[in-house]
Chain A
Amino acid sequence: MDEDRKPKILIVEDEAVFRLIYRGVLESHNYKVFEADTGMAGLELAKTEHPDLILLDLILPDISGYEVLKKIKAHDLTCTIPVIVFSVMGTEENIEKAKELGADYYRVKGANSPSDILKEIERIIGS
């Protein structure tokens, strides 16, 4: 597929292993992947690259994933981008809070396999 026409996914995640896992799954399914290992870098890429979807971790070294989510949903350039929050924290409070802040989906790492997340992404952006 033409590189420019591939759907773009932004992964905001500080753990290299998860970036590796999701890049692997997504690239093998014809997505163009951008990575950010901090919240601020993620916000910057969200504005410049305008991805079709953002995979967002909650625990980040600079600002929290919740904070990133709030800023994505508040900014004109990024507010329409669907966000899947994925975290190891799977309590009701975490999920509730992320949904209140505008997360479109919430997935728990480990409880959901990469293929589950891929299915979710395919459903959301309809490719």
Chain B
Amino acid sequence: MARLLIVDDEAVILIQLKEYLRDMGYEVAGTAVSGEDAVEKARELNPDLILMDIYLAGKKLDGISASVRIKEEMNIPVIFMTAFGGDQVLERVKNVEPYGFVLKPFQNTELKAAIDVALIRKDMESRLRESEEKLRSVVNTANEAIITINNEKQIIFWNRAAQTCFGYAEQDAIGLPLVALFSEGDAKVLEPEVDRIIQTGVSTILGKSLEVSGRRKGDVFFPMECSLATWRMNRQVFLTIIGKDITERKKIDQMKSDFVSLVSHQLRTPLAGIMGCVDNMLWGLSGTLSFKQMEYLQVMKEISSRGYRIIANLLNISRLERGVISMDIRPVDLCYVARNAVQEHSAAIESKGVKLAVDFPDEEILVLADKDKLFEAISNVVHNASKFTDAGKISVRVFSDDSEGKIKISDTGPGIPPESMKYMFTRNQILSGNATYKGGCGLGLFISKQFMQLQKGDVDVQSRVGKGTAFTFRIPLAQAAEG
């Protein structure tokens, strides 16, 4: 049952109202005869609603002033009752944002309607506040900075993590331009995209995870990962940015790749030493070798090369992950690079009794590529073909169309089962279980793909179990790119 407080300076009215209200099913928690009295009783009784007369004779606080205090202090809804509805009074009443206003004299039903409407509104408001409170808690306990900007690119919302991340308190952040949160370089890239989002609602950066350089208060920069989402309300576009400081993660990544790099170099030295000694012996520097000695040395050469290749690939992966691989792109002859890459494995292929068929054009095909990376990408694939093909042939064809130079490397190996195809060019190729048994770490194709894409080319595969596998490389022609 709703508990009411009634305030009126006339005792008769109080008694009458009390009775009405009880009859209507409300509980009258108390009555007051003055403004001061009303504030005190409200404090003491904490009623659901107050019925307040505006003119309270003889005392300093009238009903409106008392309501102002009650609203500020306790936020209890008030319905005004008065016989005088002058403009001035109405103006003052409006400022208190009352829950209702009834003019005396009134019918009981009018009062009941006003009370019920006020109680419903109070209930709705408290539910809204509660849900807002919940949302606010979620947003404020989030580890990610959550920032919303309006279509003027100014910050209108800022959670606690944003404060920790960027160093601005909420009151200082609100109204700041978005670009203030990023390094100049990143701001230059982000701003046109944000403009596009505000104007058209679409952009390629929406929903993607971006790595940017954040700017903390006092111009301290830090690595940051963030994503953008847009939403509309009342025809206005808003943009929410969720991001976090990834300094720690970057540090760990750096440590990890420094470690890989150190270990790789440490492992390479002894291997290179073994390979050098073996090369010298095979070269005859230690005197004439017997056939058996030659055979053993060949095996040593082969397995140390394999180890060397694996280490080189681990190093490549670590560098690809860090994004520090740089490409020295210039016109190179695709035939020359392909010929060298095939040459590297030709002895191994022919020693297995597999036929090697090459089909290269007479004239050169100039493509835009990094010679060494292109070589490595092709070599990895030829190496695989050589590893997996035990009979039949491996064909290498170099050709071109209007815009691209191409290499097709086909083998008559066992083929790749469809369920393994999706792992082919990923780091997870090892998971497919078919890369390892031939003595590899399953990273070569991943590296080939990455290298080709960094050169604006690509490599793809087609395969049929029992028939063989064909890889096709594409790389932009130097001429097509210029024209």
Question: Which chain A residues (74-120) contact chain B, with CB distance < 8 Å?
Answer: 88-93, 109-111, 113-115
B285 interface residue (CB < 8 Å to A): yes
Chain A residues closer than 8 Å to B273, beta-carbon distance? 15, 17-18, 21
Residue on A nearest B328 in the bound complex, by CB:
A92
Query: Of the candidates B265, B285, B326, which one forms a contact with A28 in the assembled complex, judged by CB atoms under 8 Å apart?
Result: B285
Chain A residues closer than 8 Å to B312, beta-carbon distance? 90, 111
| Complexed CA–CA distance, A15 and B280 (Å) | 17
Query: Of the candidates A24, A59, A93, A113, which one forms a contact with B275 in the assembled complex, judged by CB atoms under 8 Å apart?
Result: A113
| Complexed CA–CA distance, A111 and B269 (Å) | 11
Q: Is the CB of A25 within 8 A of B285?
A: yes
Residue on A nearest B373 in the bound complex, by CB:
A92
How many residue pairs bridge A and B at CB < 8 Å?
Answer: 56
Chain B residues closer than 8 Å to A109, beta-carbon distance? 268-269, 272, 276
Q: Main SS of the interface on chain B?
A: helix
The residue among B277, B286, B315, B319 with the most chain A CB atoms within 10 A of its own CB is: B277
B325 interface residue (CB < 8 Å to A): yes
Q: Is the CB of B276 within 8 A of A17?
A: yes
Taken residue by residue from 259 to 277, chain B's Cβ proximity to chain A (1 for < 8 Å, 0 otherwise) reads as 0000001001101110111
B80 interface residue (CB < 8 Å to A): no
Q: Main SS of the interface on chain A?
A: helix
Q: Is the CB of B268 within 8 A of A114?
A: no
Total contacting residues, chain A, CB less than 8 A: 22
| Complexed CA–CA distance, A18 and B272 (Å) | 9
Q: Is the CB of A92 within 8 A of B276?
A: no
Chain B residues closer than 8 Å to A21, beta-carbon distance? 273, 276-277, 279-280
| Complexed CA–CA distance, A39 and B269 (Å) | 18
| Complexed CA–CA distance, A56 and B276 (Å) | 16
Total contacting residues, chain B, CB less than 8 A: 22
B308 interface residue (CB < 8 Å to A): yes
| Complexed CA–CA distance, A90 and B319 (Å) | 12
| Complexed CA–CA distance, A80 and B308 (Å) | 34
Query: Of the candidates A24, A89, A93, which one forms a contact with B285 in the assembled complex, judged by CB atoms under 8 Å apart?
Result: A24
Q: Is the CB of B272 within 8 A of A88?
A: yes
A110-B268 CB under 8 A given contacts A17-B273, A18-B273, A115-B283: yes
Q: Is the CB of A25 within 8 A of B277?
A: no
Question: Which chain A residues (1-30) contact chain B, with CB distance < 8 Å?
Answer: 15, 17-18, 20-22, 24-25, 28
| Complexed CA–CA distance, A88 and B263 (Å) | 12
Residues of A within 8 A of B (CB): 15, 17-18, 20-22, 24-25, 28, 59, 88-93, 109-111, 113-115
Residues of B within 8 A of A (CB): 265, 268-269, 271-273, 275-277, 279-280, 283, 285-286, 308, 312, 315, 319, 324-326, 328
Could you list 14 A-B pairs, sorted by A, with CB under 8 Å? Answer: A17-B273, A18-B272, A21-B273, A21-B276, A24-B286, A88-B269, A89-B265, A90-B312, A110-B272, A110-B276, A110-B308, A111-B308, A114-B279, A114-B280
Q: What are the nearest 8 A-B pairs in CB distance? A: A110-B272, A21-B276, A17-B273, A109-B272, A88-B268, A113-B279, A24-B285, A110-B308
Supplied contacts A15-B269, A92-B325, A92-B326, 8 more A-B pairs, CB within 8 Å: A18-B276, A24-B280, A25-B283, A59-B265, A88-B268, A92-B328, A110-B268, A114-B283
